[in-house]
């Protein structure tokens, strides 16, 4: 039997106004209550909801992207301590896919992976050709869509399942509802306050009632406030329909609750409510309505009847809401220049770029018409030139090669990102020029150029004493903390390496080159791509092997850089990548044996604090752990670097390069240049 759902294919993103969000949520609640009948789940089969946001062909790129996600997401979720994983915007519009996978909080990793793998096998057939679909198993939920829904603004996919046992309590049914409401509210409060956004509980207020067990869960990427709000919404919208039934549940993509008179939780119970027989039950929250008493009946699910006269009214409300909320992204034009919709905020982002537009003639004059003598370096995107503006300030001009198609996309990404990021350890964008078929980015000039040009030069590296190296490590850490945690955007750089760290006149580090960076929603955990782009030797194992990237993949790259800064050794050779294994393994073995000082760059002639060196090496080894969960976040790294009193965990031996014998995957070069590979 096909399970019924309530579904509205339109939902807002973060750029929509608060008024539209409120209108949307009102309509959602109306649709949930009016159109969500309850029918039995036959033989434990899953429930599914097929959306209406478009269809894909059997051999389309959308299906390829979906298969790529299905290969990674079950493993990512089961490996996560929260049993949760997402994939954001995999592929290019209009074949782009986002997905969410969540297992019930009392599941174990093996059953979680099995459930989600089955969900990925079942859902495309259950919703053939549908680009937007959801499946609810008892122990896991899977949702994918061609619309980006991984936001924390309170407007999410609204597929809901309602199911209830029709057996009702005979004695004081109103009071039983209060018991259930109190238990669900307490369980929801506890769930919202935990990192996993999950809680289970029990209530036994009166011997006349059966003991009641409860569960509340949200996706862990929601904030506590959003989680509690989500649970309050579905409780208020559906609990009154359950009346005094002894068991029921409401499943939604972002949150769920359930209560039963028989145990159904396999894990521990966090909430316990009880009292003496006859004692009054605690009052429920105001959002929970009460319903009249009902009589006992046989155990089967009962459909909720909707008056036919309501259907035209509700349909009209829904149609008006859809028309009000529907908004297509459009390019913003100025003269002959067109700025596409960049990922950092639409028109507002473009206004900031407009304010930095520079004249091509001024830049030609500043760089001597891009004279070869002013060239600072060259990469896959093109060349960088030194220039001097009329006011005497020095600049670095990044000039995109006209033959570089990939560089165009990287340039757009960099404009959109760097224009909005301000930190002393990030390179500052001074201006932009998009005239006469030129694509130029103008940055502050870093007199000491990139870190790798000094660190790996046999003569210049002597400038880097212990104090300077420690300052560089700290500065990079603080810049990353800003990108990951402190800025109004949450940015994953994806190409951190020594030659993307610029040094100013005082050897202060500045993170540069945001061409491969990606913006995350504030509580987003990770992204997935089947086109891995980066630099071998710095890429985290989960990114290189499966295309999973996150702030933790940046942490891995940071750890590699720290080891390079401390030892003065590259993490790879241009002709032989075997040293990738040598550096990480060698440093760990010396640290484990208590001989850290033997790994420190010999050009410092032993002038450094062995205790500080050991601490830095230990922090770096924690950052290059194989499992992303074992790596610290950057705020913790900054704290560990700045305080000797903070105790450090003991790292495990980095095994990634050793397992792969230092070799790259097919299609990935082993030199210092940025490389790419197609997975799958």
Q: Which residues are annotated as a binding site for ATP?
A: 398
CA distances from 242 to 289, 518, 672 (A): 11, 44, 62
Numbered residues of the known binding site: 398
> CB–CB of 245/168 below 8 Å?
yes
CA distances from 515 to 25, 67, 413, 417 (A): 37, 27, 6, 9
pLDDT in tens, 95-125: 889 999 999 999 999 999 999 999 999 999 8
Active site (annotated) includes residue 513: no
Share of the chain above pLDDT 70, in %: 71
Query: What is the average pLDDT across 575-600?
Result: 78
**Residue 177 pLDDT grade (very low, low, confident, very high; cuts 50, 70, 90):** confident
- In angstroms, the CA 340 to CA 38 distance is 45
Sorted by sequence, the CB contacts under 8 Å of residue 192 that are 6+ apart come out as: 218, 224, 225, 227, 228, 231
pLDDT in tens, 542-576: 998 889 999 999 999 999 999 999 999 998 643 34
User: Roughly how many angstroms between the first and final C-alpha of the chain, as a whole number?
Assistant: 35
For 56-84, what is each residue's pLDDT tens digit? 988 889 999 999 999 999 999 999 989 99
Own/partner long-range contacts of 115-123 (Cβ < 8 Å, ≥24 apart) = 115/139, 115/140, 116/73, 116/74, 116/77, 116/78, 116/140, 116/142, 117/70, 117/74, 119/46, 120/70, 120/73, 120/74, 122/46, 122/48, 123/48
pLDDT band (50, 70, 90) for residue 666: very low
Phi, psi for residue 209 in degrees, rounded to 5? -100, 150
**Contact call for residues 139 and 107 (beta carbons, < 8 A):** yes
SS3 76: helix
Share of the chain above pLDDT 90, in %: 38
The answer to whether 615 and 580 are in contact (CB under 8 A) is no
Confidence of residue 28 (pLDDT cuts 50, 70, 90): very low
The values of phi and psi at residue 212, to 5°, are: -115, 135
- Render pLDDT for 394-442 as a digit per residue (tens, 0 to 9): 999 988 876 555 555 666 667 767 777 889 999 988 888 888 778 888 9
Mean pLDDT for the chain overall: 76
Among the listed residues 82, 106, 132, 495, the single catalytic one is 495
pLDDT tens per residue across span 457-484: 989 999 999 999 999 999 999 999 999 9
* pLDDT-based confidence at residue 245 (cuts at 50, 70, 90): confident
For the ranges 210-224, 274-288, 471-485, which has the lowest average pLDDT?
274-288
What lies within 8 Å, CB to CB, of 599 at 6+ separation is 566, 567, 586, 587, 590, 591, 617
Reading across the β-sheet that carries 160-168, which strands appear in turn? 160-168, 245-252, 255-260, 212-218, 198-204, 271-274
Threshold 0.75, pTM exceeds: no
């Amino acid at each position: 039997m096909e399970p019924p759902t309530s579904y509205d294919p339109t939902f807002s993103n973060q750029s929509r106004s608060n008024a539209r969000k409120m209108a949307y949520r009102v309509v959602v609640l109306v649709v949930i209550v009016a159109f969500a009948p309850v029918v039995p789940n036959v033989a434990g089969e899953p429930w599914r909801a097929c959306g209406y946001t478009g269809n894909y062909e059997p051999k389309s790129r959308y299906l390829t992207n979906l298969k790529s996600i299905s290969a990674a997401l079950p493993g990512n979720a089961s490996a996560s301590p929260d049993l949760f994983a997402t994939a954001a915007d995999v592929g290019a519009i209009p074949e782009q896919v986002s997905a969410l996978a969540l297992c019930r909080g009392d599941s174990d990793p093996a059953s979680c992976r099995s459930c989600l793998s089955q969900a990925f096998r079942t859902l495309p057939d259950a919703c053939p050709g549908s680009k937007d679909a959801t499946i609810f198993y008892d122990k896991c939920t899977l949702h994918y869509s061609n619309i980006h829904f991984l936001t924390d603004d309170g407007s999410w996919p609204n597929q809901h399942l309602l199911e209830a046992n029709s057996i009702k309590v005979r004695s004081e049914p109103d009071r039983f509802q209060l018991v259930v409401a109190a238990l669900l509210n307490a369980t929801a409060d506890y769930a919202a306050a935990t990192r996993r956004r999950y809680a289970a509980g029990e209530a036994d207020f009166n011997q006349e009632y059966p003991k009641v067990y409860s569960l509340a869960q949200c996706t862990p990427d929601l904030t506590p406030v959003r989680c509690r709000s989500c649970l309050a919404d579905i409780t208020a919208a559906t609990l009154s329909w359950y009346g005094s039934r002894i068991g029921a549940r409401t499943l939604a993509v972002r949150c769920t609750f359930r209560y039963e008179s028989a145990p159904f939780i396999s894990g521990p119970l966090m909430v316990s409510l009880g009292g003496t027989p006859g004692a009054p039950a605690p009052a429920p929250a105001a959002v929970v309505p009460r319903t009249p008493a009902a009589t006992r009946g046989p155990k089967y699910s009962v459909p909720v009847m909707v008056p036919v006269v309501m259907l035209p009214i509700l349909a009209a409300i829904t149609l008006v809401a859809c028309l009000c909320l529907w908004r297509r992204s459009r390019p913003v034009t100025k003269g002959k220049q067109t700025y596409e919709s960049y990922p950092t905020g639409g028109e507002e982002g473009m206004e900031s770029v407009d304010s930095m537009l520079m004249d091509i003639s001024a830049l030609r004059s500043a760089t001597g018409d891009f004279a070869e003598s002013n060239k600072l370096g060259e990469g896959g995107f093109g060349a960088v030139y030194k220039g001097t503006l009329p006011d005497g300030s020095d600049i670095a001009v990044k000039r995109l090669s006209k033959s570089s198609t990939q560089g165009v996309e990287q340039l757009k990404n960099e404009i959109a990102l760097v224009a909005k990021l301000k930190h002393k350890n990030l390179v500052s964008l001074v201006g932009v020029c998009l005239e006469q078929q030129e694509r130029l980015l103008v940055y502050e000039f870093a007199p000491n150029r990139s870190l790798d040009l000094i660190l790996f030069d046999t003569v210049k590296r002597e400038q880097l004493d212990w104090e300077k190296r420690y300052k560089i490590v700290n500065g990079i850490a603080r810049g990353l903390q800003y990108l990951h945690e402190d800025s109004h955007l949450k940015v994953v750089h994806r190409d951190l390496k020594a030659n993307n760290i610029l040094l100013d006149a005082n050897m202060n580090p500045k993170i540069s080159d945001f061409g491969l960076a990606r913006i995350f929603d504030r509580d987003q955990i990770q992204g997935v791509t089947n086109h891995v782009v980066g630099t071998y030797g710095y890429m985290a194992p989960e990114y290189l092997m499966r295309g999973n990237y996150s702030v933790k993949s940046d942490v891995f790259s940071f750890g590699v850089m720290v080891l390079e800064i401390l030892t003065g050794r590259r993490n790879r050779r241009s002709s032989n990548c075997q040293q990738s294994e040598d550096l990480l393994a060698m440093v760990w073995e010396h640290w484990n044996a208590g001989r850290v000082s033997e790994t420190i760059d010999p050009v410092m002639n032993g002038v450094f604090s062995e205790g500080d060196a050991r601490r830095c090496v230990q922090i770096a080894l924690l950052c290059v752990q194989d499992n992303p969960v074992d790596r610290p976040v950057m705020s913790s790294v900054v704290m560990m670097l700045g305080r000797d009193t903070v105790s450090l965990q003991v790292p495990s031996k980095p095994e990634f390069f050793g397992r792969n014998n230092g070799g790259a995957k097919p299609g990935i070069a082993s030199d210092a240049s940025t490389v790419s590979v197609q997975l799958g």
